[in-house]
A = this chain, B = another copy of it.
Amino acid sequence: MIRLEYGCALSEIELDSVIPLLKEAHSKLLMKRDSKEVGFIDLPFEPVEEIRKLAEEKRKHTDALVLVGIGGSSLGAECLIHALDKAENFYVLDNVDPYKVASVLDRIDPKRTCFNVVSKSGGTTETIVNFMAVLEVLKRSMPWDEAKRNIVITTDPEKGLLREIAQREGIASLPVPPNVGGRFSVLSPVGLFPAAYMGVDLDALLMGAKKAVDWCMCESLEKNPAWLIAALHYLHAIRGKNIAVMMPYCERLSLFVSWWRQLWAESLGKDGKGQTPVKAMGTVDQHSQIQLYNDGPKDKLITFIVVEDFGRDVKLHNHLGIADFHYLNGKTLSQVMYASYLGTASALAKNKVPFITVKLDRIDEAHLGALFMVYEFATAISGYLYDINPFDQPGVEEGKRLTHGLLGREGYEKKREEALSLASTCSKCLIERRL
């Protein structure tokens, strides 16, 4: 079960005022779906037999997985695998941090490792660079014909350099549907292959997502969680709340927040609009951020996520023998977590800080599948509420071009000069101190 609760600050009349906008946004989204421009809603209904088979085949001769991919190509799978506690022998090479890459490559046995190289375009710099580092290690440890068997490429079905390599070298590959952007691709082969390899139940995951599609198709603010999430964020954003915090009271949802943070920022941060998503964790951030949330500027809408059944629990005994702590005797950690959430939320309510609470029965495939779909839907709807295109990301291109220039890529010579000149104006004022 997924339950959404909200109370503070907005009246029903204010909420209802968005319904006409929601209807418009909804029909825009469905038009895009019908014309096959937007594919994420259809993903849970696609067959997964090919993905599952390939994962089983690779499992036969390998026992660790290195996912080479960044952003939308890694966060969804990482979130799933960590939330379900299946991350033993699972590594991600997203960043090109040399210390991290070298440490991961030291730790694995290339002969017994499957490398899933994921890039929709097939040309993401970090992914190509880390693929090069992986190939160096693979080629040193076995003949190329054998090494190839340890690679799975996930990329565009026809275009791009990774597709070219897969075809030329006969490397196993999976397609990223062209109408699904990276940040919406967790339920495509991008997320599903690593999930299947690490033992995630794809059927349960997609079942949850399918149910969520049903909920999100309802044109009703009382029934559609995506509408409610979009409406609440929109109404608070236009009232000056430019920060959206997500604070689960559950460590295993840490990477769900990272996944959502990309979805929200890249989809909605454009044309001078967009809330900044902020990652938090209960109870830890009660001792770090709650001072600011309670007593700082009223610029935030907070989303709590609480979980009913953690799957494990710990019962407390007052071994300390201190009278002050007798009230904890016999309590469980789940109870302490829930009371901490409720105490924190109540204090925020008292301070007129608005929040939404998402309650989940437990963390399993079905709940995660439903959460992914609800938030994808809510993000797409939000984009149309703000009158922007939630599916592009024009603001990342210039940085890439300038980086290509700095790395000496052919055709980017002018960009190199431009980057160096921009950089020099940014070090006008400086302090240098020696240790």
Contact = CB atoms under 8 A, between A and B. Distances in A.
Interface in A195-253: 207-208, 211-212, 215, 222-225, 228, 242-243, 249-252
Given A284-B94, A290-B395, A396-B291, A346 B70 contact: no
B15 A429 contact: yes
Interface in A162-176: 164-165
16 contacts: A1-B434, A8-B426, A95-B283, A97-B310, A98-B332, A100-B252, A102-B312, A129-B316, A161-B322, A208-B435, A242-B297, A265-B288, A265-B291, A270-B291, A274-B292, A339-B407
B276 A300 contact: yes
A215 B433 contact: yes
A224 B433 CA distance: 9
A49 interface: no
Nearest to A427: B5
Contact of A403 (B7, B75, B339): B339
Q: How many copies does the complex hold?
A: 2
A247 to B, nearest CB: 12
Given A343-B419, A403-B343, A423-B349, A165 B320 contact: yes
Contacts of A99: 85, 250-252, 310-312
A407 B357 contact: no
Task: Report, as a range, how many residues of chain A touch the other chain.
Answer: 35 or more
Interface string A102-132: 1101000000000000000001111011011
A349 B427 CA distance: 11
A342 interface: yes
Interface string A261-275: 110011011111110
Given A211-B435, A342-B419, A333 B101 contact: yes
A383 interface: no
Dominant SS among interface residues on chain A: helix
A336 interface: yes
Given A101-B333, A265-B289, A295-B269, A96 B432 contact: no
A71 interface: yes
Given A290-B395, A407-B327, A131 B320 contact: yes
A295 B395 contact: yes
A120 B395 CA distance: 46
A350 interface: yes
A244 B34 CA distance: 41
Nearest to A298: B272
